[in-house]
Structure 1
């Protein structure tokens, strides 16, 4: 059986300490993973995105139990450094450090031995074969049990943790179980809500790795099983159910079921506790947006009040993190709904467009990137661009509710401009195309 090598690094495309965008998935796939394979080890990559970024029991087990580890220090990522600290405190040796050669490393680790790698202008690794060979050699040298932890290098009588064979075997079984569980969640998700519910019923929730539970929660969201999401959050262990992301998803599900007051309470408590954020404010803005639509036929005074609350909540979320265009695009779309278009719209529109364009440089575009650009094109009366972006949106649909949400926003713009006497039948055509039911091929 091959020993495990735990990889601590960011996911996707992230800026380094100099602001340069790094494609970490390419670094992993082209250098790290092949080097681990060539060193006759089994790679495990720290899955922050599936665990909500929390440091949980399974993470500590990997840090302590994996015979080898690689840490990419390029972005000075807080989670990576915390995990490296845990690793250095419990494992005297067999930890390899890598980083892009232009990185500015914090003082505490700048003197440690590491392997710098080169990147091209797109943030992808170059001279791949040379660095793969060099990293393989580092991993092979680590079999010699030479201390590389500064803790054990500086404190010579530091007690060494002995991990018995039984715990190692149990850890290996747990890793294999988690990998199999991830595959099962993905399979159940493709089969629908009944299959997901049956899987949940078979789980011992308090003994299940957090990454699997988060996977299951988001899978319920993907199949629009809102009540299942609500019920599932109530069953989660307290540390997990109190996570910001889980509470946001609870507010999201409550709102989708029309339980607007409870959704508002969950989300306003989060903002009160942690401050505004693009994600929390984005979901709360949707609550007020739905309440505006709900009251629009019965009370203009009430609906106008909710419209202003929605706009201001979205603006607050966009101001909290302008890199996230979601609350920004919703704010400027709703500003179109005012009897007189909110004058802030003209100033915000180019900023939101810039935010989307910057986001596109740092990641692989997804549905929401194209949907945002589509709304911006409609708002800017750019008919030809809107048609092109419509096709881009439909090619990136992952979940059936996504184009429905965009169609609703497009409908709002259409209705507002019809009232002003504009000829916008082309906007109606875009809305109708978004509502066509399509089979998701992904």
Structure 2
């Protein structure tokens, strides 16, 4: 990253619903095809906000970027709450150098007449055409170049607060804070790019990837960076290698206030449970208890959530599989019922989150009683609807395709299952993702086989999904 001015981009990630009821808007395409190249054309370095990837967390690095980045671009389309909150902070801290943009045909929650607002056009299906992208790129570059000149001349502010309250003069941060911030941003962005490359190596060059991660981890121990995005990316990179212990070591090295974030603690509970699922681990019971304790604490602090219920369901599900394999039928039945209960509660906590829903219907199928199968039949169409609504609103990822595969298997629809399997393979999933899906299909296969149902067609699907099983 060069010494060019930093331009912070405030906008949603992925595809987001159109509040006017139209097709979802692909904000990644708007950024990739227009805003990022326009910022670069103006001689600046774009840095995109990452709090949505972290579950909506607005952390210390976010505030630093809002206060200290030389320039900012905010996309107000869909009136995303995080973007509006961040724009308010920026306008309270900086009198000028902020550019706002929005899709012209979309409603905004306030009057933008006072803002230096730049419109762009989407089609009736909310697509950004090539011509519209070029116009937005060119106008972004032109407006930012103009803002640079206005900043040098100390011209009129573009912040409504500075415009309307002439006495507003917040104290500026010391120059050394800005210098330190720029160094941390450059370091953090470089590490994120490196970690993203390492995650793509997982499954093909594990030893090389792990060596790079260990080197990055060691450098972060010596660094004073507090960017939660970098720490999260390191945890996720170790997860891609099935390295649960290293995930926990990274957590132990995080600054204390970062360790309290819900998204981080959920990942740690996940890692503890994965260690509990290892049949060679003598600490299985301790790890399982730690995972459950962390999830209980999260629910007490933050209330019920589909993610917390889903993770707790996973803990009970893994424990059920363990005791069932040992022939402890009575305890297995209790744990299976607990797992179903947690997944159903998770789906009821947020009907939009299909993850606990699909796990609930899968385990109901595994239970196999007339009552559980009736309950599965009632719930399965709701899960499918939630899945397809999410797929319409956001960029389809591996889990969308994997859930389509699982639902097709539960419906005994071989053709639909094979198409979904092709989708899964097209995403180049990480190893732990393939194993998770294959494990669920294997549960369905074994339970149905025990009931005398022909499941030979499932074996090929499972083998293709997880050939190392």
1: distance between equivalents of 2:196 and 2:381? 39
Decide which of 4, 7, 20 is 1:5's aligned counterpart.
7
Identify which range, 159-168 or 370-379, moves more after superposition: 159-168
Which residue does the alignment assign to 2:364?
335
Aligned to 1:75: 78
CA deviations 1:23-81 (Å, max 9, x no partner) are 11111122212322333332222222455543333322222222221111112222212
Q: 2:402 and 2:165 mapped to 1: Cα distance? A: 56
CA distance in 1 between counterparts of 2:42 and 2:250 reads 42
User: SS in structure 1 opposite 2:367?
Assistant: coil
Per-residue deviation, 1:178 = 1.7
Tell me if 1:132 matches 2:142. no
Cα shift at 1:379? 0.7
| 1:276-299 CA-partner distances (Å, limit 9, x unpaired) | 222222111110101111121432
Query: How far apart, CA to CA, are the structure 1 residues paired with 2:39 and 2:215?
Result: 37
SS in 2 for 1:85: helix
What residue is the counterpart of 2:379 in the other structure?
348
Q: Taking structure 2 as the reference length, what is the TM-score of the superposition?
A: 0.87
What's 1:236 paired with? Answer: 254
For 1:234 and 1:168, how far apart are their aligned partners in 2? 28
Gaps of 5+ in 2: 202-207, 277-286
| Alignment of 1:149 onto 2:177 | no
Where do 5+ consecutive residues of structure 1 fail to align? none
Q: Secondary structure at the match of 1:423?
A: coil
Residues 68 and 281 of structure 1: CA distance in aligned 2, closer, same or farther (over 3 Å):
same
Q: Is the alpha carbon distance of 1:68 and 1:373 closer, same or farther for their aligned partners in structure 2, counting shifts above 3 Å? A: same
RMSD: 2.3
| Partners of 1:71 and 1:267 in 2: CA distance | 35
In structure 1, the partner of 2:416 is: 385
Question: What is the match of residue 318 of structure 1?
Answer: 347
Of structures 1 and 2, the one with the larger relative CO (CA 8 A, separation 6+) is 2
User: Partners in 2 of 1:385 and 1:188 — Cα distance?
Assistant: 33
2:127 match: secondary structure: coil
CA deviations on 1:140-182 (whole Å, 9 max, x unpaired) are 3323232111111111122254566555444333222222222
> Is contact 1:337-1:416 (8 Å) kept?
yes
- Distance across 1 between alignment mates of 2:156 and 2:141: 16
Partner residue of 2:392? Answer: 361
TM-score, normalising length: structure 1: 0.92
The alignment status of 1:207 with 2:224, answered yes or no, reads yes
